[in-house]
Chains A and B, each alone.
Chain A
Amino acid sequence: MCVPLVYLVLRAFEADPETLVQVVFRLRNLYLLGNTLALTFSVIVATTLIALPLAWLVVRSDLKYKTLLAFLGVMPLAVPGYVMAYALIGLSGFSGFANTIFGVRLPRPEGLWGATLALSLYTFPYLFLNLRSALMGLDPGLEESARSLGRTRLNSFFTVTLPHLWPALAAGWLVIGLYVLGDFGVIALMRYEVFSYAIYTQYAAAFDRIYTAWLALMLVGVTVSFIVIESWIARRRRYARVGTGVARQAAPVSLGAWRPLAWLFLTLVYGASLGLPAMILAFWLNIAPIAFDYATLWQVFLRSALAAAPAAILAAALALPIVYLTVRYPSRLAWVMDRLVYLGYAIPPLAFALAMVFLALNVMPWAYQTLGLLIVAYTLGFLALTVGPIRSALLQMGTRTEEAARSVGYNRVQAFFAVSLPGLRRPIIAGALLVFIMVVKELPITFLLAPTGYTTLATRVFAHTSEGMLYEAAPYAALIVIFSSLFVGLIMRYEGKR
Chain B
Amino acid sequence: MNKILLASVATLSLMAPITAVSAQELTVYSGRGEALVGSIITQFERDTGVTVNVRYGGTSELATLLLEEGDQTPADLFWAQDGGALGALAPVFAELPAEINEGVAAPFRNPANKWAPTSGRSRVLVYSTERVSDDEFPASVFDLTDEQYRGRVAWAPTNGSFQAFVTAFRVVEGDEAAKAWLEGMIANDAQVYPNNNSQIVAVADGEVDFGLINNYYLANHLRNNANLPVSQTHFEAGDIGNMLNVAGAGVVAASDNQELALQFIEYLLSVPAQQYITTQGNEYPVIPGVIENPTLEPYAKLLEISPAVDIDEISDLEGTLALLREVGLI
Contacts of A95 in B (CB 8 A): 201, 204-205, 225, 228
8 Å CB interface, A256-315 against B: 287-288
Q: Considering only CB atoms, which chain A residue lies closest to B55 in the complex?
A: A452
Which of B38, B225, B320 is within 8 Å of A287, CB to CB?
B225
A191, A197, A447 interface centre (most CB from chain B within 10 Å): A447
The answer to whether B198 and A189 have CB atoms under 8 Å apart is yes
Which stretch from A61-69, A120-128, A457-465 is at the chain B interface?
A: A457-465
Which of B33, B228, B322 is within 8 Å of A466, CB to CB?
B33
What CA separation (Å) do A48 and B112 show in the bound complex?
58
A340 within 8 A of B: no
B300 within 8 A of A: no
8 Å CB interface, A357-393 against B: 357-358, 361, 365, 368-369
Which stretch from B189-197, B262-270, B301-309 is at the chain A interface?
A: B189-197
Q: Considering only CB atoms, which chain A residue lies closest to B52 in the complex?
A: A453
Which stretch from A201-209, A223-231, A323-331, A407-415 is at the chain B interface?
A: A201-209
Contacts of B216 in A (CB 8 A): 468
Which of A93, A287, A465, A468 is within 8 Å of B207, CB to CB?
A93
Q: Considering only CB atoms, which chain A residue lies closest to B31 in the complex?
A: A466
The answer to whether A467 and B281 have CB atoms under 8 Å apart is yes
What CA separation (Å) do A471 and B219 show in the bound complex?
13
A198 within 8 A of B: yes
What CA separation (Å) do A288 and B84 show in the bound complex?
32
B34, B229, B317 interface centre (most CB from chain A within 10 Å): B34
What CA separation (Å) do A482 and B185 show in the bound complex?
44
Which of A206, A208, A447, A467 is within 8 Å of B35, CB to CB?
A467
What CA separation (Å) do A357 and B57 show in the bound complex?
15
A96 within 8 A of B: yes
Q: Considering only CB atoms, which chain A residue lies closest to B191 in the complex?
A: A191
The answer to whether B60 and A205 have CB atoms under 8 Å apart is yes
Which of A207, A450, A472 is within 8 Å of B60, CB to CB?
A207
Which stretch from A20-28, A143-151, A238-246, A422-430 is at the chain B interface?
A: A20-28
What CA separation (Å) do A205 and B85 show in the bound complex?
8
Q: Mark B26-45, 1 if CB is under 8 A from A, else 0.
A: 01000111111010000000
B46 within 8 A of A: no
The answer to whether A207 and B68 have CB atoms under 8 Å apart is no
The answer to whether B328 and A209 have CB atoms under 8 Å apart is no
What CA separation (Å) do A200 and B197 show in the bound complex?
19
The answer to whether A92 and B53 have CB atoms under 8 Å apart is no
Q: Considering only CB atoms, which chain B residue lies closest to A464 in the complex?
A: B35
The answer to whether A463 and B34 have CB atoms under 8 Å apart is yes
A449 to chain B, nearest CB (A): 9
Q: Considering only CB atoms, which chain B residue lies closest to A187 in the complex?
A: B194
Q: Considering only CB atoms, which chain B residue lies closest to A350 in the complex?
A: B61
What CA separation (Å) do A389 and B317 show in the bound complex?
45
What CA separation (Å) do A353 and B197 show in the bound complex?
28
Which of A189, A444, A452, A459 is within 8 Å of B53, CB to CB?
A452
Contacts of A448 in B (CB 8 A): 57, 61-62, 65
The answer to whether A463 and B55 have CB atoms under 8 Å apart is no
What CA separation (Å) do A201 and B194 show in the bound complex?
11
Q: Considering only CB atoms, which chain A residue lies closest to B164 in the complex?
A: A205
Contacts of A191 in B (CB 8 A): 192-194
Q: Mark A76-94, 1 if CB is under 8 A from B, else 0.
A: 0000000000000100111
Q: Considering only CB atoms, which chain B residue lies closest to A466 in the complex?
A: B33
A30 within 8 A of B: no
Contacts of B35 in A (CB 8 A): 463-464, 467, 469, 472
The answer to whether A207 and B88 have CB atoms under 8 Å apart is yes
A470-B325 contact in complex given A206-B317, A350-B64, A462-B56, C-beta closer than 8 Å: no
Q: Mark B170-207, 1 if CB is under 8 A from A, else 0.
A: 00000000000000000000001111111001101111
B240 to chain A, nearest CB (A): 19
Contacts of B195 in A (CB 8 A): 188
What CA separation (Å) do A207 and B65 show in the bound complex?
9
The answer to whether A361 and B201 have CB atoms under 8 Å apart is no
B74 within 8 A of A: yes
Which of A206, A288, A444 is within 8 Å of B318, CB to CB?
A206
A137 to chain B, nearest CB (A): 41
A42 within 8 A of B: no
Which of B36, B38, B160, B205 is within 8 Å of A204, CB to CB?
B160
B72 within 8 A of A: yes
B81 within 8 A of A: yes
Q: Considering only CB atoms, which chain B residue lies closest to A284 in the complex?
A: B224
Q: Mark B306-330, 1 if CB is under 8 A from A, else 0.
A: 0000000000011011100100101
The answer to whether A470 and B55 have CB atoms under 8 Å apart is no
A209-B330 contact in complex given A23-B325, A447-B57, C-beta closer than 8 Å: no
A197-B60 contact in complex given A206-B321, A354-B68, C-beta closer than 8 Å: no
B268 to chain A, nearest CB (A): 16
Q: Considering only CB atoms, which chain B residue lies closest to A293 in the complex?
A: B38
Q: Considering only CB atoms, which chain A residue lies closest to B57 in the complex?
A: A447
8 Å CB interface, A168-223 against B: 188-189, 191, 197-198, 200-209
Contacts of B206 in A (CB 8 A): 93-94
A366 to chain B, nearest CB (A): 12
B111 within 8 A of A: no
The answer to whether A92 and B193 have CB atoms under 8 Å apart is no
Contacts of B231 in A (CB 8 A): none
Q: Considering only CB atoms, which chain B residue lies closest to A22 in the complex?
A: B322
A400 within 8 A of B: no
The answer to whether A205 and B53 have CB atoms under 8 Å apart is no
8 Å CB interface, A464-498 against B: 464-472
The answer to whether A452 and B72 have CB atoms under 8 Å apart is no
Contacts of B193 in A (CB 8 A): 191
Q: Considering only CB atoms, which chain B residue lies closest to A450 in the complex?
A: B55
Contacts of B54 in A (CB 8 A): 452-453
A455 within 8 A of B: yes
The answer to whether A369 and B74 have CB atoms under 8 Å apart is yes
Q: Considering only CB atoms, which chain B residue lies closest to A99 in the complex?
A: B205
The answer to whether A205 and B321 have CB atoms under 8 Å apart is yes
What CA separation (Å) do A466 and B61 show in the bound complex?
12
The answer to whether B205 and A205 have CB atoms under 8 Å apart is no
B56 to chain A, nearest CB (A): 6
A201-B56 contact in complex given A188-B158, A452-B27, C-beta closer than 8 Å: no
The answer to whether B65 and A26 have CB atoms under 8 Å apart is no
The answer to whether A92 and B56 have CB atoms under 8 Å apart is no
What CA separation (Å) do A322 and B166 show in the bound complex?
50
B246 to chain A, nearest CB (A): 16
The answer to whether B204 and A197 have CB atoms under 8 Å apart is no
What CA separation (Å) do A203 and B88 show in the bound complex?
12
A153 within 8 A of B: no
Q: List 24 A-B contacts (CB under 8 A).
A: A89-B201, A93-B204, A189-B198, A191-B193, A201-B158, A201-B321, A201-B330, A205-B60, A206-B321, A207-B88, A207-B89, A209-B68, A354-B64, A358-B68, A361-B69, A453-B55, A455-B56, A463-B33, A463-B35, A466-B33, A466-B81, A467-B281, A469-B33, A470-B197
Q: Which 9 A-B pairs have the closest CB atoms?
A: A93-B205, A447-B57, A188-B194, A463-B34, A467-B33, A466-B33, A204-B60, A452-B53, A95-B204
If A108-B205, A466-B31 are given as contacts, then 9 extra A-B residue pairs at C-beta distance below 8 Å, sorted by A number, are A22-B325, A28-B325, A201-B321, A205-B84, A205-B163, A205-B330, A206-B317, A368-B72, A450-B55
Interface residues of B (CB under 8 A from A): 27, 31-36, 38, 53-58, 60-65, 67-69, 72, 74, 81, 84-85, 88-89, 158, 160, 163, 192-198, 201-202, 204-207, 216-217, 220, 224-225, 228-229, 281, 317-318, 320-322, 325, 328, 330
